[in-house]
């Protein structure tokens, strides 16, 4: 009796595997025939997240403050593929009342974050890790980074406020 049950179990297992094989082969063949998905640039929200994760912002958070990431009308603009953000401290300087801020440029094609005033790449472990996750989600590979990674933003004045 056990031998019959074992034989039936093997037969059912064999049939289920055999039934799944054509589908498996169809999936593999369709993957060979279809090219890899095209990469796509980061969107503005993702770029703002990267700006929020800069070491400048980290320093403020460690000090018990936070920062605001903005693209208001006074922020300089740059040509694509860059988005320029102003990172503003939530607390002004102690004596002068002037807001503490810096400008960063995010390359939407590579996820690289640059100091917008001098053009140097901003690096930190957290920023690198999150940018890597975003690049993977957007299929941004080494070829894309090689093509667009050496670009630097050319800053110019933004439109007047209210226009």
Per-residue model confidence as pLDDT tens digits over 133-150: 999 999 999 999 998 888
Pairing of strands 113-115, 101-107: antiparallel
Per the prediction, the chain carries an average pLDDT of 76
pLDDT for residue 30? 46
pLDDT for residue 7? 44
pLDDT for residue 25? 45
What secondary structure letter does DSSP report for 151? -
Give the pLDDT band of residue 32 (cuts 50, 70, 90).
low
Decide: 92 and 99 in contact? Cβ < 8 Å. yes
Give the pLDDT band of residue 65 (cuts 50, 70, 90).
confident
Decide: 107 and 81 in contact? Cβ < 8 Å. yes
pTM of the model: 0.69
Q: Residue 107 belongs to what H/E stretch?
A: strand 101-107
Q: Residue 53 belongs to what H/E stretch?
A: none
User: 93: helix, coil or strand?
Assistant: coil
Q: Is the pLDDT of residue 26 over 50?
A: no
Can you say how many angstroms the Cα of residue 37 is from the centroid of all Cα atoms in its chain? 17
List of residues 6+ apart from 58 with CB closer than 8 A: 124, 126
pLDDT for residue 13? 46
Please report, rounded to a whole number, the percentage of residues in the chain having pLDDT higher than 90: 34
């Amino acid at each position: 009796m056990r031998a019959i049950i074992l034989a039936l179990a093997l037969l059912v297992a064999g049939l289920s595997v055999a039934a799944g094989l054509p589908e498996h082969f169809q999936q593999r063949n369709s993957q060979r025939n279809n090219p890899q998905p095209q990469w796509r640039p980061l969107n503005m929200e993702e770029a703002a997240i990267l700006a929020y994760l800069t070491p400048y912002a980290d320093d403020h958070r460690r000090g018990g403050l936070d920062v605001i990431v903005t693209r208001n009308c006074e922020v300089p603009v740059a040509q694509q593929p860059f988005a320029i953000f102003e990172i503003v401290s939530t607390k002004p300087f102690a004596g002068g009342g002037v807001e503490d801020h810096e400008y960063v440029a995010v390359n939407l094609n590579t996820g690289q974050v640059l100091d917008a005033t001098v053009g140097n790449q901003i690096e930190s472990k957290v920023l690198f890790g999150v940018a890597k996750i975003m690049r993977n989600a957007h299929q941004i590979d080494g070829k894309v980074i090689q093509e667009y990674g050496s670009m630097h933003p050319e800053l110019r004045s933004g439109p007047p406020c209210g226009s």
